[in-house]
Amino acid sequence: MAVPAEVLIAEQAQPIHQEPTSFWRKYVFSIDHKMIAKQFLWSGCIFLLLGGVLAMMIRWQWAFPYRKIPLVGELLLPRSGGIIGPADYQQVFTTHGLIMIFFAVTPVLIGAFGNFLIPLQIGARDMAFPKLNMYSYWSFFLSQLLVLASFFASLGSGGAGWTTYPPLSTNVGTPGAGQSLLVLAIFVTGVSSTMGAINYVTTVIRLRAPGMTYRRLPLTMWGLWLTAILNALFVPVLGAAGLLLLFDRQFGTQFFVAGASAVRGGGDPILFQHLFWIFGHPEVYIMILPAWGIVGDVVSFFARKPHHWYKGSAGAMIAVTVLSAMVYGHHMYVTGMSPLLGQGFMVFTLAISLPSMIIVLNWLWTIWKGSIRLELPMLFALATMILFGIGGLTGLFLGDISMDLYLHDTMFVVGHFHFTMAAGSIVGAMTGIYFWFPKMFGKKLDTRLGQIHFWFTFLGLLAVFLGQLATGYAGQQRRLFDPYQYTFIQGLHGLNLATSIAAFILFLGQLAFVVNFFKTIFSKEKDREQNPWQVGTLEWTACSSPPAYHNFDHIPQVLRGPHELSDPEVMKVLDRDWVGQAEPLPQGTAGARA
């Protein structure tokens, strides 16, 4: 059979390179996208654990204020003997948010899945710029070290909240090197994200295998690609905000300093909020778009049906990407913004729910009357739909100005963004981990342990974040060191205590995942199924598990879309309900030309 010209051209453009043999080149300073993905995965998971410990400390404080943390208290807070003081508490909730968003979810969802999946799913032998990819990881690693270093600064780590709003985050509010190190860490991780984004955007544009048109991309690719575009355009805005904040802190400039401590009128703290949210709102979608993509693919694969209205879902993702850049003002309704401007932001904010609904309804229609296989990835995908759904619906309350005036800065906001960014993104990432684990490590994760992990995670997250929504609706402000100093919150102690206990159970439930992860990686069992989920995308059908260094011996010629499941013609010819994206049907059958 003749090799198609496009394939020859693609293969010549991406020659097979020799796999490096030295330890450093292979495992540490690797330019292989699969190894870099694993590095991001490890870094992200370790910080996920760290962020989780910090979350438990917050919950402890709200359940048992001024009491010593049992077992690990002295270890975590040696100076106070395990009791969380007000200053410690500031640092705990600040670093919890920052670590979870920038140093845990982002590396896992974008760093690990982006790197691992983009070349494999589009049929490329590596990223467009492999070395840039390596720099991206190592600058990310540096930013993680900066975060860790901030804990050892003389006044402790930063304490101005994850949003680092001035004037609290200036030298006036939070003196000491800790806050500066955190801001620097945000800047460095921003540089890393930008490098990654340049790579992802270019790779998807240039290195798609012949026949892999945009309409044949798996939805995961759409999610990651749009995320990369948002990253490339909006992370530098955060970079600028961080840079100016650093100038203010280190060189005495006055961008954000105002009031009594300012010279000649000073700057404007609200300016920082503008910059932060111009970045911050797209960031919300940066963190959810990959999860949407993953869920879209997984529901199709495990309902054994093509994704319902694929073009609609891809188009809706594009619409969300564009709209996400136009709504940032809804974080600032209470800053005294012009009501007219506020209304504009409100309209755009509520308009985002339309494309979001297209995506969610398409998931439901995909599942509708499907032959559902309730395997682990599907369980997590369904959980993502429910948890993200609650997050999205509570977002409507906050997007509405009159409602937001009441709910602003309450635990309701905390519950809302935990449902979207923590539950939606992290459970979405878990979907991906359970689904692609066999591709990364060649072995499937244990089902029993996975189910235990699933129920602890799903019910745990639901309980904890519903508790947050309820306390917030009852009026509890967020970020309070001791909420019960306020008489009207004292009645909420029981609810907070129950929520905290749910959180501790949720945290312990993650042990099932850790055990499962290591048990599977180190198991001797050679259960290398090439395509355990029986799906057609390139990473499962055109290369081995785990993939060779160069991914594809021959660059595949893609013939069809990613969700060609239960096609009657294919079932007749091949006697199975799936067909590879690049798998030619036998000559003479109707689908052979496909």
DSSP secondary structure letters along 19-44: PP-SHIIIIIS---HHHHHHHHHHHH
Q: What is the dihedral of CA 379, 384, 390, 394, to 10 degrees?
A: 170
Which listed residue (35, 120, 241, 512) binds other proteins by CB under 8 A? 241
Which listed residue (163, 253, 353, 510) binds other proteins by CB under 8 A? 253
240 binds other proteins (CB under 8 A): yes
128 binds other proteins (CB under 8 A): yes
Contact 41, 108 (CB under 8 A): yes
User: Whole-number minimum distance, CB 115 to other proteins, in Å?
Assistant: 16
The window from 237-245, 348-356, 420-428, 474-482 that contacts other proteins (CB under 8 A) reads 237-245
Closest to 51 (Cα-Cα) out of 5, 13, 15, 105: 105
252 binds other proteins (CB under 8 A): yes
CA gap 155, 102 in Å, rounded? 23
517 binds other proteins (CB under 8 A): no
Closer Cβ to other proteins, 475 or 584, answer by number:
584
Instruction: Mark 518-557 with x for binding to other proteins (rule: CB under 8 A) and - for no binding.
Output: ------------------------------------x---
Closest to 395 (Cα-Cα) out of 450, 344, 350: 350
Which listed residue (130, 173, 236, 312) binds other proteins by CB under 8 A? 236
**Residues numbered 199-218 forming contacts with other proteins, rule: CB under 8 A:** 199, 201-202, 205-207
CA gap 539, 532 in Å, rounded? 12
142 binds other proteins (CB under 8 A): no
Give the burial class of 359: count Cβ atoms within 10 A of its Cβ; 0-12 exposed, 13-18 middle, 19 or more buried: buried
CA gap 564, 559 in Å, rounded? 11
Q: What tokens appear for 581 in the block?
A: 């994206």
Which listed residue (83, 130, 148, 268) binds other proteins by CB under 8 A? 268
260 binds other proteins (CB under 8 A): no
Strand partners, 410: 477
Closer Cβ to other proteins, 284 or 440, answer by number:
284
Q: What tokens appear for 315 in the block?
A: 């188009």
267 binds other proteins (CB under 8 A): yes
User: Whole-number minimum distance, CB 287 to other proteins, in Å?
Assistant: 18
CA 576 to each of CA 301, 540, 565, 581: distance values in angstroms, whole numbers, following the listed order: 14, 15, 9, 14
262 binds other proteins (CB under 8 A): yes
User: Whole-number minimum distance, CB 206 to other proteins, in Å?
Assistant: 4
Closer Cβ to other proteins, 60 or 256, answer by number:
256
12 binds other proteins (CB under 8 A): yes
Kindly state the number of chain residues that form the binding site for other proteins, as judged by CB under 8 A.
51
Q: Distance of alpha carbon 224 from its chain centroid, rounded?
A: 10
Contact 458, 383 (CB under 8 A): yes
User: Whole-number minimum distance, CB 580 to other proteins, in Å?
Assistant: 16
DSSP-derived 3-state class of residue 267: coil
Closest to 336 (Cα-Cα) out of 241, 270, 255, 254: 270
133 binds other proteins (CB under 8 A): no
The window from 238-246, 392-400, 424-432, 436-444 that contacts other proteins (CB under 8 A) reads 238-246
Closer Cβ to other proteins, 3 or 511, answer by number:
3
DSSP secondary structure letters along 474-541: TTPBTT-SSGGGSHHHHTTHHHHHHHHHHHHHHHHHHHHHHHHHHHHHH-------S-TT---SHHHH
587 binds other proteins (CB under 8 A): no
Which listed residue (35, 160, 197, 462) binds other proteins by CB under 8 A? 197
129 binds other proteins (CB under 8 A): yes
The window from 133-141, 214-222, 258-266, 439-447 that contacts other proteins (CB under 8 A) reads 258-266
User: Whole-number minimum distance, CB 251 to other proteins, in Å?
Assistant: 5
Contact 36, 133 (CB under 8 A): yes
Contact 546, 34 (CB under 8 A): yes
**Which residues contact other proteins (rule: CB under 8 A)?**
1-3, 5, 8-9, 11-13, 128-129, 132, 194, 197-199, 201-202, 205-207, 232-237, 239-241, 243-244, 247-248, 251-255, 262-268, 271, 274-275, 278, 554
